[in-house]
Chain A
Amino acid sequence: MSLMNAKQYEESLRKLNFKIYMFGKLVENPVDDPIIRPSMNAVAATYELAHSPEHEDLVTATSHITGKKINRFTHIHHSTEDLVKKSKMGRLLGSLTGCCFQRCVGMDAMNALSMTTYDIDQKYGTQYNKHFLKFLEYVQENDLVCDGAMTDPKGDRGLAPHQQADPDMFMHVVEEREDGIVVRGAKCHQTGAVNSHEIITMPTISMREEDKDYAISFAVPADTEGITYILGRQSCDTRKREEGTMDRGNQIYGGHEALVVFDDVFVPWDRVFMYKEWDFAGQLVEQFASYHRQSYACKAGVGDVLIGATQCIAEYNGAQKASHVKDKIIEMNHLNETLFCGSLACAAEGHKEPSGTYYVNTLLANVCKQNVTRFPYEIARLAQDIAGGLMVTLPSEEDFRSPEVGKWVEKYYKGNADVSTEDRMRILRLIENITLGTAAVGYLTESMHGAGSPQAQRIMISRQVNMNAKKRVAKKLSGIDVDE
């Protein structure tokens, strides 16, 4: 089965034996939990679209291992066209779900590992790439979701992994056995973790020889014994437990993050992709981060939804003809398309690595993500400006349905006579959801810190621009002697 459909994906999750905690309680049935389920729906969209004639050109690819048609989220990029289609797929899914669909992180981890495992083998004569390709084929054949788990808790940021007071602040090896290793530690902020079949871990920073016990990468089934998930809270999350659905904003989709604890988890050798090769930790981090910085084309997709909602509320308010409203919406589109430009550019300027995998232009990927740390905030600000204060003072759906006061809500929150009060309330709730509700986790703060905080991209930009060439031309054109 190299292409599951949405229903099959949902059923596959039901077979997993997750240990998930939320609000201090064990979640018995995560798939049907009202807080988790919208995030499952968003991942399910990646399966549904692979079967849709209108979208399969982006959401499917041909496996370089088996030659079979597979979901692009399990594909290793083998051309710049593949990289461009990845960017377009991200925008497409963001524009249809209005949230984070969680599946890109595993794709980015696998593409990075396809290169790093190959390079480690070339230097040390190890077998990691062979192990990785076996794992990849299993993922492609079964159309699995992988969580790409990088971020360690990190403890004291001023100390290296081996210097931490608590060694578990970075994932590390606690036992080496004949058949594998036992690891301990945790991964924070794991997007889509409880919607995943497999967890792929990677080191979180460059390392020195003293840190070699922390230089590990591996993949395990997501319900492996010893793994516990603790769901992160999102602003307005418990609205999903309310009887009505209007106040959720997004009626169908959502996202989630979790703290994933590895309490002495066994990993067989054939699932280990890096073991104490400390000198490759930095490369794996950089390759994963660059791919993931490209992945933020998805935010242009979410931006499409927010811009659409903003145009609707302008019309529902009767303000759509005001020149400043029109101009603000133009500005939102300008910023949104600029986000997309960065992702497309780093893909189109990609190149082939020795492993055969195509890798993005890392300077442009960092520029793309740097824009993402800023523009969604401005787009959200403009959306709130046009929506008006009602977005945050609107009574609840229960008041709207109330036999006592519903008539007043209906009467006094009517805008354009051709639009129902309920529709006006619904679009305001969607704008609220994306700009300060559950979806703001993905659209705003994740845009800031996901795939590395803004300073990480600035360091990469400063390292990669050719400053000497810029100076040389400036000097030449201004008549300053240039030493050749």
Chain B
Amino acid sequence: MWMSKKRRIGLKYCGGCSPRYDRVQAVASIKRRLEDRVEFVSYEDRDVEGILVVTGCSTACVDLTPFEGRLVWVVTSEQDVEGFLKNICKIS
């Protein structure tokens, strides 16, 4: 049986001290909408095309230095989700 290979993207959350929207629900929505095309894996996995960083507010306090030199998408709000989806579809 032939199967197209899914793209692999690492997922990293901020700690979620006081998020302005439901980060986990936002990621669930992203995963649902990309389920045929993208597999989301741990940010520690090196075999990925880039890292999706999901933060609860625009402070985006996640330390990005471990991801230097790699493709990083940062989602800080529900509005950013649509931007990320457009972006990722464009790349494909």
* C-alpha gap A85/B14 in the complex (Å): 10
Inter-chain contact B11/A92, CB cutoff 8 Å: no
- B88 CB-CB contact with A under 8 Å: no
* C-alpha gap A58/B16 in the complex (Å): 8
Inter-chain contact A55/B13, CB cutoff 8 Å: yes
- A81 CB-CB contact with B under 8 Å: yes
* Chain A residues, CB < 8 A from B17: 58, 87-89, 91-92, 95
Inter-chain contact A57/B12, CB cutoff 8 Å: yes
Secondary structure at chain A's binding surface: helix, strand, loop or mixed? helix
* C-alpha gap A118/B21 in the complex (Å): 44
Inter-chain contact A85/B13, CB cutoff 8 Å: no
Please give the distance in Å from B39's CB to the nearest CB on chain A.
Answer: 15
* C-alpha gap A58/B14 in the complex (Å): 7
* C-alpha gap A340/B63 in the complex (Å): 21
* Chain A residues, CB < 8 A from B42: 53
Partner of A56, one of B11, B15, B18, B24: B15
* Chain A residues, CB < 8 A from B18: 88, 91-92, 95, 304, 340
Interface residues of B in 1-33 (CB under 8 A from A): 11-18, 23-24
- A418 CB-CB contact with B under 8 Å: no
- A367 CB-CB contact with B under 8 Å: no
* C-alpha gap A85/B16 in the complex (Å): 11
Partner of A81, one of B13, B14, B23, B63: B63
- B62 CB-CB contact with A under 8 Å: yes
Partner of A53, one of B13, B62, B63: B13
State whether A57 and B11 are in contact (beta carbons under 8 Å apart), knowing that A81-B63, A84-B61, A88-B61 are contacts in the complex. no
* C-alpha gap A89/B62 in the complex (Å): 13
Highest count of chain A CB atoms <10 Å: which of B12, B13, B17, B24: B17
Interface residues of B in 36-69 (CB under 8 A from A): 42, 61-63
Interface residues on A, range: 10 to 19
Interface residues of A in 83-113 (CB under 8 A from B): 84-85, 87-89, 91-92, 95
Please give the distance in Å from A98's CB to the nearest CB on chain B.
Answer: 15
Q: Digit string of A61-89 for contact with B (CB within 8 Å is 1, else 0)?
A: 00000000000000000000100110111
* C-alpha gap A55/B61 in the complex (Å): 12
Interface residues of A in 449-466 (CB under 8 A from B): none
* Chain A residues, CB < 8 A from B16: 54-55, 58, 92
* Chain B residues, CB < 8 A from A84: 61
From A57, which residue of chain B is reached at the shortest CB distance? B15
* Chain B residues, CB < 8 A from A55: 13, 15-16
* Chain B residues, CB < 8 A from A340: 18
From A91, which residue of chain B is reached at the shortest CB distance? B17
- A441 CB-CB contact with B under 8 Å: no
* C-alpha gap A458/B49 in the complex (Å): 54
- A59 CB-CB contact with B under 8 Å: yes
Q: Top 9 closest A-B pairs, CB basis?
A: A58-B15, A88-B17, A57-B15, A92-B17, A54-B13, A91-B17, A55-B15, A57-B14, A54-B16
6 extra A-B contacts, CB within 8 A, seeds A92-B16, A92-B17: A53-B42, A55-B15, A55-B16, A59-B15, A91-B17, A340-B18
Taking Cβ atoms with an 8 Å cutoff, the residues of A that contact B are: 53-59, 81, 84-85, 87-89, 91-92, 95, 304, 340
Q: Can you give 13 A-B contacts (C-beta < 8 A)? A: A53-B12, A54-B13, A55-B13, A55-B16, A56-B15, A57-B62, A59-B15, A81-B61, A85-B15, A89-B17, A91-B17, A95-B17, A95-B18
